[in-house]
């Protein structure tokens, strides 16, 4: 009986994993959403190292958090920062929950980042794709705080000029300050 229950549980876990993989694949193909690929550790290290936050008690987001590498490093450097990872796919979401289980300053939420309120964000990290950055630029300009810092790995915002671009093994890391004067 015990082994039967274990087998059923394993089978269920496998079915859930396969279904979430299929949903993830379909949202990439049909909706143009970014797949789950991790940032290079060196890019995350440089993204955090370059930040010189005047006010440390900031609210930071990693949009499409995956396993939240940026937030995990950020809260080590800035112990006052509050960190919010937003991930809509089940497998990376569960992974993020597991790796941040004992980290009380990082919250991971399973949501579509286009549907969350970003008006309180001070800092946002993204590693997404061209389409997502175009949609997010509109969202940032519509609702973000003046002076929001955005760091994007590999994919630029279409019209906002970065104030700094680093090359990490040839891949660009863009730094932006969103000014609401542009509206």
Ligand X SMILES: C[S@@+](CC[C@H](N)C(=O)[O-])C[C@H]1O[C@@H](n2cnc3c(N)ncnc32)[C@H](O)[C@@H]1O
Interface residue list for ligand X (CB under 6 A): 33-34, 36-39, 62, 64-66, 69, 86-89, 92, 112-114, 127-128
Residue 166 or 180 with smaller CB distance to ligand X: 166
Pick left, alpha or beta for residue 34 (phi over 0 → left; psi -120 to 50 → alpha; otherwise beta): beta
**Minimum CB distance to ligand X, residue 46 (Å):** 13
CB of 86 to ligand X, least distance (A): 5
Structure tokens of 127?
């590693």
Round to whole Å and give the CA distance between 86 and 60.
Answer: 11
**Rounded distance between C-alpha atoms, residue 137 and residue 75, angstroms:** 25
Residue 177 C-beta: closest distance to ligand X, Å = 21
Tokens of 164: 């700094």
For the CB of residue 39, give the shortest distance to ligand X in the complex, in Å.
Answer: 3
CB of 145 to ligand X, least distance (A): 21
Whichever of 86 and 144 has its CB closer to ligand X, that residue is 86
Characterise 169 by phi-psi region: left (phi > 0), alpha (psi -120 to 50), beta (else). left
Q: How many whole angstroms separate alpha carbon 32 and alpha carbon 17? A: 21
Q: How far is the CB of 102 from ligand X (least distance, A)?
A: 20
Contact 55, 78 (CB under 8 A): no
Closest residue to ligand X in the complex (CB): 64
- Which is nearer to ligand X, 64 or 122 (by Cβ)? 64
Considering the complex, state which of residue 40 and residue 180 has its C-beta at the smaller distance from ligand X: 40
Residue 36 or 180 with smaller CB distance to ligand X: 36
**Residue closer to ligand X, measured from CB, 28 or 180:** 28
Sequence-ordered alpha helix ranges (H) in 32-156? 41-49, 69-77, 90-99, 130-143
- Say if residues 125 and 149 touch (Cβ distance below 8 Å): no
């Amino acid at each position: 009986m015990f082994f039967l229950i274990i087998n059923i549980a394993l089978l269920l876990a496998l079915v859930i994993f396969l279904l979430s993989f299929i949903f993830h694949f379909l949202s990439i193909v049909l909706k143009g959403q970014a797949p789950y690929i991790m940032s290079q550790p060196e890019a995350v290290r440089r993204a955090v190292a370059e930040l010189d936050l005047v006010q440390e008690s900031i609210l930071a987001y990693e949009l499409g958090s995956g396993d939240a590498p940026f937030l995990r490093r950020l809260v080590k450097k800035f112990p006052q920062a509050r960190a919010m990872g937003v991930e809509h796919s089940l497998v990376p979401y569960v992974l993020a929950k597991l790796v941040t289980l004992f980290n009380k300053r990082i919250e991971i939420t399973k949501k579509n980042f286009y549907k969350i309120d970003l008006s309180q964000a001070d800092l946002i990290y993204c590693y997404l794709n061209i389409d997502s950055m175009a949609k997010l630029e509109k969202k940032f300009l519509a609702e973000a705080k003046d002076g929001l810092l955005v760091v994007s790995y590999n994919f630029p915002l279409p019209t906002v000029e970065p104030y700094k671009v680093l090359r990490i093994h040839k891949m660009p890391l863009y730094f932006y300050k969103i000014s609401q004067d542009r509206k």
